[in-house]
A = this chain, B = another copy of it.
Amino acid sequence: MGKLKLYCGLLGLLLLASCQQPPADTAAKTQAVTASHQAIEWRLATSWPKNLAGLGMAPERLAQLVEQMSNGRLVIQVYGAGELMPALSVFDGVSKGTVQMGHSAAHYWKGKAPASQFFSSIPFGLNAQQMNAWLHHGGGIELWQEVYQPFGILPLAGGNTGMQMGGWFNKPIMSPADLKGLKMRLPGIGSKVLKKLGGVPVDELAGRELYSALQTGAIDAAEWVGPYNDLPLGLHQVAKYYYYPGWHEPGSSMEFLVNQQAFSALPADLQAIVKVAARAINQDMLDDYTQGHIAAMDTLISEHNVQVTPFPPEVIAALKQARDEVLTEEAAKDPMFNKVLQAYLANEAAVKRYFHYTEDALN
């Protein structure tokens, strides 16, 4: 209390003193004094290289918005993958409070909480618009909070890549039989779907490792994100076919992870600033990806003569059936997975009924 009294008294004296000078903008000065007095510093660890297009830009933009809106009272320092901790240690880092925030993708934590996978993307599931609607007005975010609550983490939607591409292939996929033995980089539920059809999913490869893995034939195929991120990796130089659509990730949501204790310690206005900034960035990343994808796709086709090839309908049908089986199997193993699955499937069916009359009817 003594310290607070002293601060407060000093602040008062400072303000009185500043009035003795001819003030160009007294209100601004008042704020500046308040700001330096109350500055809180947070660290945010990401699972991406710093400033990677799309994924890597979102946390930087969040930090910028928070600093502007809080007038410097909350400053978030962003660290890329490996700077403070490995890419896949972000969840633990936020849980333990090593960092106050993280930016990552929920399916990475399937080992800790299988239900986390619903908050990235489900094969043949919700697209970006449907996902955001379910999260924010359909009960999704409340389930996500329930899944992360035991870890002391508050999840916030942290952007979306939009619908992804089917990936880069060095073997043509003419029928479901061609998936047998296919070594493909593919994460999350999608990898289990591929496995069910006889494929060999490779889960652990990072984006920068894909080029050489395809080049050396260590893998036959790889999906990363979509043109915006795939073009800079040069995957078109080491793969023959660019398949579509991205059945495995129809709208991949990213996440901001917030240490619950650090969040609760913030005053209410800074809590609101963090949440609203995340909400704005959640949309901004999708906007960035949409424009980035369309430009990069045009470049891939017109400058690099990439062959963009559709999966045959019978392959799509087989993958879809396998997805339903995988989801049922996973639900039997984990009650929370089953709880989220039931909510997700009910919403998926309802929104697809509506999109039948709207988006799907006006291509």
Contacts and interface: CB of A to CB of B under 8 A. Distances in A.
Interface of A: 1, 4-5, 7-9, 11-16, 18-19, 22-23, 26-28, 30-31, 34, 38, 65, 68-71, 124, 127-130, 132-138, 162-165, 226-227, 244-247, 250, 267-269, 272-273, 276-277, 279-280, 282-284, 286-295, 297-298, 308, 310, 350-351, 353-363
Given A12-B15, A69-B69, 4 more contacts: A9-B16, A13-B16, A246-B358, A293-B358
19 contacts: A1-B26, A4-B26, A8-B23, A9-B19, A12-B15, A31-B267, A31-B269, A127-B359, A135-B287, A136-B287, A137-B284, A163-B362, A165-B358, A244-B361, A245-B357, A245-B358, A276-B276, A294-B354, A356-B363
A294 to B, nearest CB: 4
B298 A350 contact: yes
Contacts of A34: 30, 34
A278 to B, nearest CB: 9
B12 A26 contact: no
A363 B132 CA distance: 18
Contact of A283 (B12, B14, B279): B279
B68 A310 contact: no
Contact of A291 (B22, B137, B293, B298): B137
Given A8-B18, A286-B132, A357-B245, A276 B69 contact: yes
Given A23-B4, A26-B8, A244 B163 contact: no
For the residues of A in contact with B, the DSSP-based class is: helix
Contacts of A28: 267
A162 B294 contact: no
A225 B202 CA distance: 46
Contacts of A129: 128-129, 162, 286, 290
Contacts of A137: 284, 287-288, 290-292
A283 B132 contact: yes
Contact of A363 (B13, B246, B291, B355): B355
Contacts of A362: 124, 163, 245-247, 250
